Amino acid sequence: MLKFIIRRLLVIFPMVLLVITLTWALIRLAPGNFYSQPKALPPAVEKNIRAKYGLDKPWYVQYGKTMWQILGGDFGFSRQYPEQTVNEILARSLPVSATIGLVAYLIALVTGLFFGTLAALRQNSALDYSSMAAAMLGISIPNFVLGPILVLLFALTLYWLPAARWDWLVEFGPFPWLKYLLWGVFILLVAGIAVFSIYRIMRRRSSPDRLVEDRSAEGVSSWAVTIVGFLIGTAVLVGLGFMFMKSANWGPSGVAMPVIALVLVIIAVGVGYWLAGRSHSVVLESLVYGIIAAAVPPLLALLIRMLSGLFQLTAQVGPFGIPRLRYILLPAITLAAVYMAYIARLTRAGMLEVLRKDYIRTARAKGLKERDVIIRHALRGGILPVVSYTGPALAFLVGGTVVVERIFALPGLGNYLINAALNRDEPLLLGITAFISTIILLFNLLVDIAYAYIDPRIRYS
């Protein structure tokens, strides 16, 4: 399990870089720009604007500088809100979207599991038909219709709840010391993994029962070819860095690393697919090992810079706290309706399949109470489809929902995302995209881990 988690965490880093790269490319390929107006600007003014934001540089220089800032946790200043940094906007809007999303999914999870389980236990009964009809209704009614209906009923007719706005009942500020705590945890984790790995390697080598089919014993690895590959990889990296710095008028060398990393990823994918279709070649494999060894230092530098920026950004998140219940009910119920319906249907389908299994029949034959059979045995296997659905759904909710935040005028990520897209606010778009892609990958990892704990038949090697 530990190896699986480490592999998945290492995959998250290049995946987020790839998502940011594609987003950056799509923004640049789209027609228009953030300073476009109905009336064309004078050429001198447009030239000054492009020079101010570095748009007159080659595309790879712009990409390198943008990625170097992002990896340091600095997304720059927003184009739409020039006096605010993207980090400040993310730190202010994230608690709102996260609170709404978590409360909405908690409501959907509890209600959906309850009615889905009841529908499965009372299959083809009036309760089953009414629950599934309500679920189908919840799926069919979009939240941009349900939201105004709830506002009209509870805010403008009954005057029970406010129609919009957001307010904290108890507010907590950011914790600047959090980044030092996270760095300590990271260092201890890396040190523990290193010690454990060395221990496993030494124990395997000293074991009399270890496999003798060692690759080195067969002459598979060639140190000379590996060193040649390392020299070739180093020459390629130095050449790319030299070309980049020359194109950037000998600017900071650090901004070349994202471009080098992108080239390495493309080369690694191409070589990997090519090697997969060929027979085993000792020399070629040793050469690739040497090139990969040369690529480790810049990629490690990027990883450390990204972690530093991430920890710095995490320590700035705030304000957050306990929201006022009257402000959270309507948007949370609006968001929860469709997820409640999906969870109810998934729970019913999963429970119907599990209730027919032999081990459920055995548990009942042993004289267990029906409540214990359902909760301790059947529900554990029946919620596996719900667990699979939870990862992307929860990430989508925490990352902000555009429609609901627009309807209820919430200062969340979704509201800022749509404004950034309409105004071509590149730094803000990249910041929100990076955050959403990261939490999607992390939540999917948590779902896979939860699978192994819920279902003992699942094991990750």
Closest C-alpha among 56, 100, 66 to residue 86: 66
What are phi and psi for residue 261, nearest 5 degrees? Answer: -60, -40
- For 85, the 3-state DSSP assignment is strand
Lowest mean pLDDT of 207-211, 214-218, 449-453, name the range: 214-218
Distance CA 294, CA 288 (A): 10
> Buried b / exposed e across 251-270, counting CB within 10 Å, b at 16+?
beebbbbbbbbbebbebeee
Span 401-411, pLDDT tens digits: 788 888 888 88
Q: Are 405 and 132 in contact (CB under 8 A)?
A: no
Q: What residues form DSSP beta bridges with 323?
A: 168
The gap from C-alpha 440 to its chain's centroid, in whole angstroms, comes to 3
Residue 399 φ/ψ, nearest 5 degrees: -75, -5
Residue 286 pLDDT greater than 80, yes or no: no
pLDDT value at position 219? Answer: 46
The b-or-e profile of 144-154 (16+ CB within 10 A means b, else e) is: eebbeebbeeb
Question: Among all chains, which residue has been given the structure tokens 């006096």?
Answer: 83
C-alpha span between 407 and 148 (Å, rounded) = 7
Name the pLDDT band for 278 (thresholds 50, 70, 90): low
Domains and CATH numbers, the chain: 2-34+90-153+325-454 (1.10.3720.10), 50-78+217-314 (no CATH)
CA angle 331, 335, 340 (to 5 degrees): 135
Over residues 230-239, the mean pLDDT reads 72
What residues contact residue 228 under an 8 Å CB cut-off, 6+ apart? 287, 290
pLDDT of residue 177: 72
Decide if 76 contacts 399 (C-beta within 8 A): no
Crossing angle (nearest 10°) for helices 86-121 and 426-454:
30
Q: How far apart are CA 405 and CA 335, in angstroms?
A: 10
Tell me the C-alpha distance between 286 and 216, whole Å. Answer: 11
Work out the percent of the chain whose per-residue pLDDT is above 90: 1
Q: Please report the pLDDT score of residue 208 as a whole number.
A: 53
**pLDDT tens digit sequence for 157-203:** 888 888 887 877 777 777 777 777 777 877 787 777 777 767 666 66
Name residue, tokens 């990409």: 63
Reported in sequence order, the residue ranges of 151-194 that DSSP labels E, i.e. its strands, are 168-172
Q: What is the mean pLDDT of the chain?
A: 77
Tell me the one-letter amino acid at 457: R
SS3 helix, strand, coil % of the chain, rounded to 5? 75, 0, 25
Q: Where are the beta strands (DSSP E) in 270-386?
A: 320-323
- 130-159 pLDDT tens trace: 888 888 888 888 888 888 899 999 888 888
Cα–Cα distances in angstroms (integers) from residue 99 to residues 102, 172, 344, 409, in the given order: 5, 14, 23, 15
Sign of CA dihedral 207, 213, 217, 221: negative
Gap between the Cα atoms of 346 and 54, Å rounded:
50
E strands, 21-163, where?
none
As a whole number of angstroms, the distance between CA 273 and CA 270 comes to 5
pLDDT given for residue 12 in this prediction: 81
Average pLDDT for residues 3-12, to the nearest whole number? 75
pLDDT per residue over 26-69, tens digit each? 888 887 777 776 667 777 877 888 888 777 888 877 888 888 88
Q: What is the widest separation between alpha-carbon atoms in the chain?
A: 86
Residue 126 CB neighbours (<10 A): 8
pTM of the model: 0.73
CA distances to 103, 373, 385, 450 from 447, rounded to whole Å, are 19, 24, 11, 5
Summarize pLDDT for 290-336 with one digit per residue, the tens: 666 776 677 667 777 777 776 777 776 767 777 788 888 899 899 88
pLDDT for the residue 212 = 43
Identify the weakest region by mean pLDDT among 17-26, 142-151, 236-245: 236-245
Distance CA 69, CA 258 (A): 10
